[in-house]
Amino acid sequence: MNDIFFIAIAALGLLILFAALRLAIGPTAPDRVVALDTINTLIVGAMILLAVYLKQTIFVDVAIVYALLSFLGTIAISKYIGGEL
Amino acid sequence: MIETAAMICLGIGILFNTLGVIGILRFPDVYTRLHAETKMTTFGTIFLALGVILYAGGMLAGTGDNQYLTIAIHTAIALIALAFTNATGSHAIARAAHRSGQLPDPSVVDRLAEVKSND
Amino acid sequence: MIRFLATTIATFVAYLFLTAGSGTIILWSESELIIGLILAIIVGIASYRIFCRTGSLRMANPIRLILLPVYAIIPLFIEMARANIDVAIRVITGNVKPGIVRVNTGMKTDLGMLLLANSITLTPGTLSVDVDDTTRELYVHLINVPDELREKNVVEARELFSFFNIPGWIRRIAE
């Protein structure tokens, strides 16, 4: 079972690399924010899996705080792009 | 038995996450990319977390270790936080994109731009 | 006072969920309970103006609090699965007809608008773009606009969903 968690984490890492491709080439600023949001979601998923793989409960707490803080970051960048800040 | 169910959930989660990332690379404009991003990665991560909860529940029944109870409850809380914040964040991005003057590029109807041009 | 109590209880319940499994009094240890109560009172004093803005206790009704998870697990999840399979097919074939339509929601409260906008974003090939605060209308981006919706000026919220009456559920929960 542990091998399957490792394979899933590796697949998520690969997906993060592909999403970073859109972050690099995205023609406009909102495209880049979309790619950043995707990477944040994938990182939260990978952290939850890592908590089970390494048997460290603290990783899930880090994932909760990461999800909330990345949401604040997305909101701040969106307000800046929309000209409300 | 319960490990097989957790494995199937992990497989579905990875499949939907992969389709979401392909959608981001493939779709033509920012709104359709947001469709792929919000729905597919949220759904995929829900299934990843369900797999983890099932696995932790199985280990809790097997070994009786309190650590697995903590992992399951905290994963459920992370799931709720993620589902709410992802939807709200994508709403913010879409609103910002429309305010910054980026219109949906292939589009058949756009009522919001009509309302804005009337003001 | 009632707003402060509601905020404190909600914070204390959240703290209890986060520290479950730490001791022997049911699931919690003594020190966690005491520290959680002190922290909940501090947070309640600091933030009751933001958490309960109007002082109406509509959401403290236990029937609404039970209906909310039921709504999230059964109708919302089935609609999400259908929408995801739909978008997955569109990712593979690349067949899209996007457009923005105007949706009349009929909600009366801010919480109802929040739940409906989030449900629309998560479910059927739709994405909330902007909101009109005075008339409570949503502007919704559809990945595939059907022909009968293209002609109409204002669309009812019920027509966006296929299996369940999602706006009816939300009205029952939040209003």
**Which candidate from B31, B73, B84 shows the least CB-CB separation from C20?**
B73
pLDDT score at C6: 82
Higher pLDDT, B27 or A79: A79
Instruction: Give the start-to-end residue ranges of the domains of chain A.
Output: 2-82
Question: Which ipTM was obtained for this model?
Answer: 0.83
Q: Could you report the per-residue pLDDT of B65-88, keeping only the tens digit for each?
A: 777 888 888 888 888 888 888 888
pLDDT score at C26: 72
Query: Does A3 contact B at CB distance below 8 Å?
Result: no
Contacts B21 to A, Cβ<8 Å: 15, 18-19, 38
- pLDDT of B113 > 70? The answer is no
pLDDT score at C36: 87
pLDDT score at A8: 86
pLDDT score at B28: 79
Average pLDDT of each block of 10 consecutive residues along chain A (85 residues)?
84 89 83 87 89 86 89 88 78
CA distance C9 to C59: 13
Query: Does B23 contact A at CB distance below 8 Å?
Result: no
pLDDT score at C56: 67
Touching subunits for chain A (3+ Cβ pairs under 8 A): B
pLDDT score at B111: 66
CB contact under 8 A, A68 and B85: yes
Q: Could you report the per-residue pLDDT of C116-136, keeping only the tens digit for each?
A: 777 777 776 677 777 777 777
- pLDDT of B119 > 70? The answer is no
Count Cβ atoms within 10 A of the Cβ of residue C34 and give its class: 0-12 exposed, 13-18 middle, 19 or more buried.
Answer: exposed
Task: Find the mean pLDDT for residues B8-27.
Answer: 86
Contacts C78 to B, Cβ<8 Å: none
Domain count of chain B?
1
CB contact under 8 A, A29 and B88: no
Of the candidates C105, C97, C87, the residue with the CA atom closest to the CA atom of residue C146: C97
pLDDT score at B100: 79
Contacts A55 to B, Cβ<8 Å: 67
Query: Does A44 contact B at CB distance below 8 Å?
Result: yes
Of the candidates C7, C2, C121, C134, the residue with the CA atom closest to the CA atom of residue C56: C2
Query: Does B30 contact A at CB distance below 8 Å?
Result: yes
CB contact under 8 A, B17 and A42: yes
Helix (H) or strand (E) holding B11: helix B2-26
Low-confidence ranges of chain C (pLDDT < 50): none
Query: Does B55 contact A at CB distance below 8 Å?
Result: yes
